A and B are shown apart, each in its own frame.
Chain A
Amino acid sequence: MDLYEFMRGILREQRWGKVLSSPLTYQLVEKALWLARKGFRWRATYLMARFALAQTKKAYTGEAPVVWTSAFFPVEIVWGLGLCLFSPEVAAAFITSLGFADQALSQADQKGYSRDLCSFHRCIAGAAADGYLPPPAALVASTHLCDGAPLLFQNLAEHYKVPYLVLDVPYESTPEAEKYVAHQLAQIWNTLAEITDRRPDIGSLARAVDYSNQFRNHLEAVNTLRCRIPAPIQGSEMLNYLYLFFAGQGHKEAAAVFACLERELESAVDSENRERFRLLWLHLKPYHKGELMHFLEKEAGCSIAFEEMSHVYWPPLDPVNPFPSLARKILSHFAYKPLEWRIAVVDALARKYQVDGIVHFSHWGCRQSCGGSLILRDALQEKGWPVLLLDGDCLDQRNEAPGAVLTRAQAFLEVLEGRKEGSGGIAEK
């Protein structure tokens, strides 16, 4: 069973915002989820949904002060204070997967947000304007990787009239940069504690860092298991674990999800998977009802063997020195460096997972990922990898020509087929 299919089945409601912002919804969905838990292909998916629902319910009931974090902020800081974390970018993907994005996006249009902006951010802005998101006690954003989030968060902080904290991350990874980031993290930790009236307990933070390490270790083990041919789990399924990547690191339940997935993958055999081609997926996937992922994985028989998002790029954290350690994690991100780093990582992943081709899903409005995509493509092609730059939008289907997206994807598979046959011929399905 698909997680979002399950949710859509329950939330058949026109007034989506009211439904999504009601704690009662989450109580009911939690119960329904428990009843349906055996229908999920992976128990890990059920555990993630349970974790995400519990946190979302907590955010709406106000059981603990809510802190909004941008996608790449080190959330161990927030979990370490025992706060309630809300990731609006993940919420935007969730709203879209449930089929409610159009209304939030239209609201953002009416508020004057340019349609050139990232649809994750427009969706958040629209839902916030409608009053459907859990009110924050504070917002924190990091300046690295995504340039839209810090500015959107500033807008939202003004909207909610709450403090806004920014983590300024230098582009160059030097010992000075590490100290600078570590110092800011300590300041943010203390300020958040002050704002939310929490005692800044370094022991709690060390525990969060320890959970983050467990998350990392299990994810690495999952990634190793995914080297198997045929792929034991599809990339589109892994990209549904977005919540854990952006909001789970530092929480024991997130670590438990990947521990569970690790156990499940150890014994998983996907004998039905024909695996016509193995693909490496770069950047995110569409969360709207478009047919791309279904076409690739179900109709065309491809495996998304691995996705850039799941790559463990950072060294283990040191619970004794959490701030410098988290600073090192942030600064080690391969995509926040000259493009040669990303090229090297993608090339290594393509080799490790023995893929036939690489697809870069170029999400409309995402400068950090798409800005260098032409150089990335050329460099990878030079190394012998077939590369498809697929223009689309993760949330806003109005920015896509659905037929053209599928034509591009199909044509790319025809190129791969020709390479496999060595004759340029196109084999029958």
Chain B
Amino acid sequence: MITGGIDVGSLSSEAVLLKDGEILSYSIINTGADARKAAEQVYQTALEKAGLQSSDVDAVVATGYGRLVVPFATKQVTEISCHARGAFFLFPEVRTVIDIGGQDSKVIRIDGRGNVVDFVMNDKCAAGTGRFLEVIARALELSVAELGKEGEKATRVAEISSMCTVFAESEVVSLIAQGVPRPEIVRGLHQAIAERTAGLVQRVGIVPEVVMTGGVAKNSGVVAALSQKLGVKVLVPQEPQIVGALGAALLAQKLAQ
């Protein structure tokens, strides 16, 4: 049985193809301005990588904010259920999933069978999300991928008090003007995100194992700051960005049965 999962996020879209529980292929692209087109494109890329046709796929589950615009999906499931399912598949001991995506962050509590027991979402603003990092990285003339390494160079931490994306950008510009070294600013940024995320985690309670998913989990600086703040090791999958799509593909297996 072959199934697919499509996660159409605000910044990026991912597709995962599974055959009997094994990942056949995956694909990640920027969503851009047309979520429907992104869904079709990312799915097509994953199919090509696996050498498959869409007719070979038994069921597809769509997730993410653009889940409703995926015309070929068998079913739409929220990213909360999909991230839980994907994280549980990769780490059966996981009980807390932290997903920081492009425009929101979620903390999901799951039980010993991978069921979602509780969840909280922060979607009031983009503070601490992928979009936030993107804006700040641009102000620092770095790519998002470079932030982790840059922060490691710091010997001190600059304080960033504002978590509003717009105000934080102004604060970073002020720090640059004051001559604060860039690594210190980056480290401050990571701590600020960890602080905010830890607050969200505490609303559902910290139960190990804790797994972080979503694109921001690729930033080692944020993961380290969050581990320190929570007092537990935060596990990160090899490719944290595809966990939602993986969960969707796993849920599609059930539909195809």
Contact = CB atoms under 8 A, between A and B. Distances in A.
Contacts of A9: none
A418 B123 contact: no
A195 B111 CA distance: 63
B113 A411 contact: no
B86 interface: no
Interface string A205-246: 000000000000000000000000000000000000000000
Contact of A428 (B65, B75, B85, B111): B75
Interface string A155-186: 00000000000000000000000000000000
A424 B114 CA distance: 7
Contacts of A414: 77-78, 80-81, 116
A404 B78 contact: no
B255 interface: yes
B121 interface: yes
A130 to B, nearest CB: 30
Given A404-B104, A407-B80, A428-B255, A415 B117 contact: yes
25 contacts: A374-B203, A391-B124, A404-B104, A407-B78, A407-B80, A407-B121, A410-B78, A411-B80, A411-B119, A414-B78, A414-B80, A414-B116, A415-B115, A415-B118, A415-B119, A418-B116, A419-B115, A423-B113, A423-B115, A424-B113, A424-B115, A424-B116, A425-B251, A426-B81, A428-B75
Nearest to B75: A428
A426 B117 contact: no
B79 interface: yes
A287 B203 CA distance: 29
Interface in A371-429: 374, 381, 391, 401, 403-404, 407-408, 410-411, 414-415, 418-419, 423-426, 428-429
Nearest to A374: B203
Given A414-B78, A426-B81, A426-B254, A408 B121 contact: yes
Given A426-B251, A426-B254, A429-B75, A411 B116 contact: yes
B124 to A, nearest CB: 7
The bracket for how many chain A residues form the interface is 20 to 34
Contacts, number: 53
Contact of A411 (B65, B78, B104, B254): B78
Nearest to B116: A415
Contacts of B117: 415
Given A401-B124, A414-B116, 20 more contacts: A401-B123, A403-B65, A404-B104, A407-B65, A407-B121, A408-B121, A411-B78, A411-B80, A414-B80, A415-B119, A418-B81, A418-B116, A419-B115, A423-B113, A424-B113, A424-B114, A424-B116, A425-B254, A428-B75, A429-B75
The bracket for how many chain B residues form the interface is 20 to 34
Contacts of B116: 411, 414-415, 418, 424
A381 B205 CA distance: 13
A34 B124 CA distance: 44
The 7 A-B pairs of least Cβ separation, nearest first, read A424-B115, A404-B123, A411-B80, A411-B78, A418-B115, A414-B81, A410-B78
A411 B123 contact: no
Nearest to B122: A404
A410 B75 CA distance: 13
Interface in B35-84: 65, 75, 77-81
Contacts of A425: 251, 254
Interface string B103-114: 010000001011
A426 B77 contact: yes
B63 to A, nearest CB: 10
Interface in A51-106: none
Contacts of B118: 381, 415
Contacts of A403: 65
Contacts of A411: 78, 80-81, 116, 119
A428 B255 CA distance: 7
A415 B251 CA distance: 14
Contacts of A428: 75, 255
Nearest to A407: B78
B177 to A, nearest CB: 32
A414 B84 CA distance: 12
A407 B122 CA distance: 12
A414 B115 CA distance: 9
A415 B113 CA distance: 13
Nearest to A423: B113
A426 B116 CA distance: 11
Contacts of B79: 407
Nearest to B257: A425
Nearest to B255: A428
